[in-house]
Structure 1
Amino acid sequence: MLRFVCLPVLLSLFLSVSGQGDPVKPIIQTKWASDVQPGNVLPEYPRPQLVRGNWMSLNGQWDYSIQPASAETAPVGFEGKILVPFPVESALSGVQKTVGKDRSLWYHRTIQLPASLSKGTVLLHFGAVDWQCSVFINGRKAGEHKGGYSAFTFDITPFLKKGKTQEIAVRVWDPSDDGPQPRGKQVKKPNGIWYTPVTGIWQTVWIEAVPDTYIASTKNTPDIDQKVIKVTTTVNSARPGDLVRVTALDGSVKMSEQQVAPGTEAVLPVENMKLWTPGSPFLYNLKVELLRKGKPIDAATSYFAMRKISMQKENGIQKMLLNNRFVFQYGPLDQGWWPDGLYTAPTDEALRFDIQTTKDMGFNMIRKHVKAEPARWYYHCDQLGMLVWQDMPSGDLGGNVWDSRPGQISGGNTDKDRSAESEAVYRTEWKEIMDNLYNFPCIVVWVPFNEAWGQFKTKEITEWTMQYDPSRLVNSASGGNFFPVGHIMDLHHYPDPAMPDPRIFGSERILVLGEFGGLGLPLEGHTWQAKNNWGYQTFKNQDELKNRYSELVSHLARLIPLGLSAAVYTQTTDVEVETNGLMTYDRKVYKIDPKVLHEIHQQLYKQ
């Protein structure tokens, strides 16, 4: 008998927000789709690592029009309404149309800017827009950004006109798999492990008012060995004599405080440390104030955790350590796709659900696969105690030599020869992603490449990543062409577990199984298409699946004493025609009871 995640939701027609009366019905949908209201879309504060109170969400209904790619000025008329921030190809957008490289997507909205947001500096924030984005305020170009996975901000103060009424237009161009840019698993012709394109605004859009001199960002680095938290604050338009006051708090109790010049590192003692672990994910509070002549002119709140990720030899084999102790890391490959919103979860509750369910299943880690999520996803991982391996979204695929000898050192000729443009967009976006996500303690591993998908200049990219963030481990190319660089040797092996040879690699690098499993079970009424669904190994019923999965985990447990530090099972949910998930794509059916999974997994943590 199937075990349902929730009570069945009536599958009535999903009403379009286009205003044209044409219903848009997703093939399948999650239970949260019915909670999406055009006037209250993803209303949560989108930047939990730097919180201010004076802000306004611009999620909701915008005008849209699909124009030729050559169109550089906003259209006179629009085709209808689109629900931001759902991608235009998704059902929840109310549009569900493909754009492609030969066309551009235009957004338009007239807003009423309240007096509280009209003073000082007015910032327009975008969580993410895929891919190339130009923003116009009252007909004047305010800025441009390239990169589908990183947050960006424009100072729109010079472009505002008198009065409350302001017009915003956004032009987006996205060539999907016809361009060299990072795009993960998006393709114009979805099939197998490749999915529907995502174009346009897909994370929260919001406005914030700040003083003329303001706190732009912080960089929080814990050091559990020295029992300190290090905080460096970036201040825009700082004046001579300005100071930054940083206060570390346990709840509301002040622990330590320091005043430093903007851009100077504050080092705050953290006595009687409460270490952050999957079993006890304690978060400290942080208050950052900008002082001028001793008085605060700007302030924001944040948080941090005392957590360390490192490596050390045990019995001649490098092991992955959390807070100076070996903890076997085990988690699913998490694609972060939704049948109704594609890249965008219908609600914040839905976003948290996947992480909480993964935790309930007895995993302590998630590998976020060739996608970067909204900041709130990592915030939930921080709160719930979920370790994260963060992939760089892949792009410019094809043309590589993928070494077919698993666990062997590849020759230099396996690196892809990418164009200067391709290299530049990769390097720029990888840096932006790392900057955006640096403060989230849940992230313990950076993964620059997946398999040989666009893998280029492996040694150079890996060494740069290690130098740019020495506080985390770097998994150079998960399952890809291996070069003797980085902290980790990562093997992909389907369906049964395997590990890199400890005699060859164990003395220098951590040994991990970056992907395995892929056990498939399509369940009628919960699939993206009725027939021809795909899995690495397909089963007829849930009992068969459970028994085979249990065998795999028992085999995996036997590898840990041999030196295996971590493993990643494919995958959290089904995605489109791929039916390898532990849950169906609509999140309505657990293929294996989470309590059963939790019990099966305990053998991995008793080593």
Structure 2
Amino acid sequence: MNGQWDFAFDDENIGVLEGWSHTVRGDRKINVPFTYETGKSGIGDERPHGVIWYWKNITITNEFKKDQSIQINFEGCDYHLDLWVNGVYKGSHDGAYTRFAFELGKFAEGEEVLLSIRVEDPHSEEQVRGKQRWLSDNYGCWYVQTTGIWKDVWLEQVSDDYVEKIKITPDIYKKTVTIHTMCHSNKENLIMKSDVYFEGKFINSVSGKLEAGVCQMDIDVYNKYVGEWGIELWSPDAPNLYTLKISILDEDDNCKDEVESYFGMRDIRIRNGLVLLNGQPLYQRLVLDQGYWKDTGLTPENDDVLLKDIEYVKRMGFNGVRKHQKTESDRFLYWCDVHGLLVWGEGPSFYKYSDKAAKNFVREWTEIVEQNYNHPCIIIWTPLNESWGVPAIERDVCQQNYSQAVYHLTKSLDSTRPVISNDGWEHTTSDILTLHDYEEDGEIMRRKYLTKKEEVLSCEIYHNNFRAAYAQGFGYKGEPVLISEYGGIAFEDNDKESWGYGEKVKTEEDFLERYKALTVGIKSLPYVCGYCYTQLSDVQQEKNGFLTEERRFKVNPEKIRAINDLPEGVFWNKKGH
């Protein structure tokens, strides 16, 4: 369904009253899934338009099976969507960063179907925004808004009984994987069959009965002919993936639905102040990645641009990305699974605390965690960032309770991954202590965290202007420590609107000298087990990336890699028992 749709702005919000849901009223064309703000959409208007409409005519061909219903899937649409089919209202969805679907029904061959979509995207600080501006112009580190459909749209046919959701939980120590499958079905006597393969080699098959559309099974994946210990682990150095085939069978062994997925056998946990991957200490060398492109905004044009970003990240010697204020395309996470790139799953922020905002975020964050649970590349959840949305969290008990509630909600949805309560500062209950610090002098930064470690961790001093490591009433309990934002070095460009952190540099040598001083300073800290540099690429007015918006290197990537490959002080002398 990607491609050209009819499109219209509804600035006066008259579309519903005038019956735009029943007929095409668009005076423009738009190239879905690119939003009207982007050049690739064919429109390229960056002004805010709070209500927009899409229309698409579909002719039912013989490719569609008569006995199956058609379902339309949206991977992402910002923010409130209403859908009509041939003028009949089908439903709505609120959110920006998660996928959803509507069942359209069954249609006869040759039938014409009109899809009418209304999207409302107010500039509200109470809705989940991420880095989208809520004023008319860009400012600080907030950029052009994203309105409407910005991820893939596709049709699929589903039978009366089909797989709706799969939750896959590996256990590398038991050498098992738990498959929790939810199906759309009200029938009895249906069987769920799960087959596991590794690189084409059959591993195991388990069947179980569906009860009220749900089936959970544990599958032993041990095979003496696979790996040194009977399983193959997933890691950045060896991103091994198992194939999973799930079938719904009736009592006569007829297949009602079949899906294919995959999983990685990997374990991430916290112990003795370290982050352990598959039982071994993990030093995280991350780069902050906001996922914006020059002519397409938040939308990647194709898989090639995603693969290029992954290639560039690894080429510079990083082993992961902090996907900042965005839930990226499923295709990106798939390629990270395949190529072994670690990812932090971060919640896009809201900016004004209220009961409404709190509920909006929890609803969308729950969907984000559930929908991305199966990706082995995601090793950490980060619901809140820099107290955005909870500006009074340092002292406000209500906002502290909210942060704790989101932490525990996340742990209840996913007990297998660490959760960072409020990335950067003013943490409440958190599995990892992360600190943001844009000091531009590497030696000053190193000395602060080396000689004043106890003062920083106990909140006797602020580590970042007037920000403490923990909110009042909370404190350090031996969690792993990471510097999860630093650097942000920009080149001198004579553009008054562009910016980075600290004084701009003039030459590649100046850049590398500062980057090395900052990074080596962090690496020398024995209690710090990783870092995240700001950032991968320039984003609009923020010009502090290794790459330009067009993805051209500003500095030699091999020289960045040489710095990232330097040893991490005495970190590796610690034992992660």
TM-score for the superposition, normalised by structure 1: 0.82
Whole-Å separation in 2 of the counterparts to 1:571 and 1:142: 42
Query: Take 2:169 and 2:275, find their aligned partners in 1: how far apart are those partners?
Result: 19
Is the alpha carbon distance of 1:196 and 1:440 closer, same or farther for their aligned partners in structure 2, counting shifts above 3 Å? same
**Distance of 1:467 and 1:277 partners within structure 2:** 25
Classify 1:387/1:126 alpha carbon distance in 2 versus 1 (closer, same or farther; 3 Å): same
Distance (Å, rounded) in 2 between the aligned partners of 1:229 and 1:454: 37
**How far, CA to CA, are the matches of 2:381 and 2:268 in structure 1?**
12
Match of 1:222 in 2: 170
Q: Which position in structure 1 is the counterpart of 2:279?
A: 324
| Matching of residue 245 in structure 1 with residue 193 in structure 2 | yes
Q: Distance in 2 between matches of 1:97 and 1:140?
A: 31
Whole-Å Cα distance in 1 between the matches of residues 426 and 257 of structure 2?
A: 48
**Cα displacement (A) at 1:191:** 2.0
**Shift, 1:522, TM fit:** 5.1
The residue that corresponds to 2:387 in the other structure is: 452
> Shift of the alpha carbon at 1:233?
0.7
Q: 1:365 matched to which residue of 2?
A: 320
Match of 1:469 among 414, 425, 429: 414
2:438 to 467, 486, 494: 494
Corresponding position of 2:245: 287
Give the letter aligned to residue 79 of structure 2.
W
Query: Offset of 1:99 from its aligned partner?
Result: 5.8
Kindly report which structure 2 residues correspond to 1:159-170, keeping only aligned pairs within 5 A, or say none.
160=107, 163-170=110-117
Shift of 1:121: 2.1
Match among 551, 554, 572 for residue 591 of structure 1: 554
Give yes or no for contact 1:107–1:170 (8 Å, CA) kept in 2.
yes
Distance 1:522 1:380, change over 3 A: farther
Aligned-partner residue type, residue 286 of structure 2: G
Alignment correspondent of 2:509: 543
**Structure 1 residue aligned with 2:480, among 510, 513, 526?**
510
Contact in 2 for aligned 1:332/1:569 (Cα 8 Å): yes
What residue ranges of structure 1 are gaps of 5+ in the alignment? Answer: 1-57, 398-417, 525-529
| Structure with higher RCO (Cα < 8 A, 6+ apart) | 1
Cα distance change, pair 425–503 in 1 and its aligned pair in 2 (3 A): closer
- The answer as to whether partners of 2:370 and 2:413 remain within 8 angstroms in 1 is no
Change (3 A) 1:242 1:605: farther
1:151 is displaced (CA, Å) by: 0.2
1:568 matched residue in structure 2:
532
CA contact (8 A) 1:381 1:387 kept: yes
| Aligned 8 A contact 1:115 1:164 in 2 | no
C-alpha distance in 2, partners of 1:605/1:565?
8
C-alpha distance after superposition, 1:233-269 (max 9, x if no partner): 1110141110110111102211011111232221111
Q: Where does residue 226 of structure 2 map in the other structure? A: none
Give the match's secondary structure for 2:545.
Answer: coil
- TM-score scaled to structure 2, two decimals? 0.86
Unaligned runs of 5+ in 2: 223-229, 391-398, 459-474, 573-577
Q: Per the alignment, in what secondary structure is the counterpart of residue 245 of structure 2? A: strand
Distance in 1 of aligned mates of 2:483 and 2:274:
13
Counterpart in the other structure of 1:423 = 358
2:131 to 182, 185, 208: 185
Q: 1:381 corresponds to which residue? A: 336
Q: Which residue is equivalent to 1:273?
A: 231
| C-alpha contact (below 8 Å) 2:61/2:110 kept by paired residues | no
The CA distance in 1 between the partners of 2:101 and 2:329, in whole Å, is 15
2:515 is paired with a residue of what secondary structure?
helix
Identity %: 32
- Are the aligned partners of 1:66 and 1:99 in contact in 2 as well (CA < 8 Å)? no
Q: Is the Cα contact below 8 Å between 2:60 and 2:108 reproduced in 1?
A: no
CA distance in 2, matches of 1:577, 1:384: 31
Residue aligning to 2:97: 149
Equivalent residue letter for 2:551: R
Q: Tell me, yes or no, if the aligned pair for 2:38 and 2:46 is still in contact at 8 Å.
A: no
Taking the aligned partners of 1:108 and 1:503, their CA distance within structure 2 comes to: 55
Distance in 1 between residues matched to 2:141 and 2:7, nearest whole Å: 30
Superposed counterparts of 1:194-213, under 5 Å? 194-213=142-161
Match of 1:110 among 44, 57, 60: 57
1:424 deviation in Å?
1.5
**Alignment check: 8 A CA contact 1:331 1:364 kept:** yes
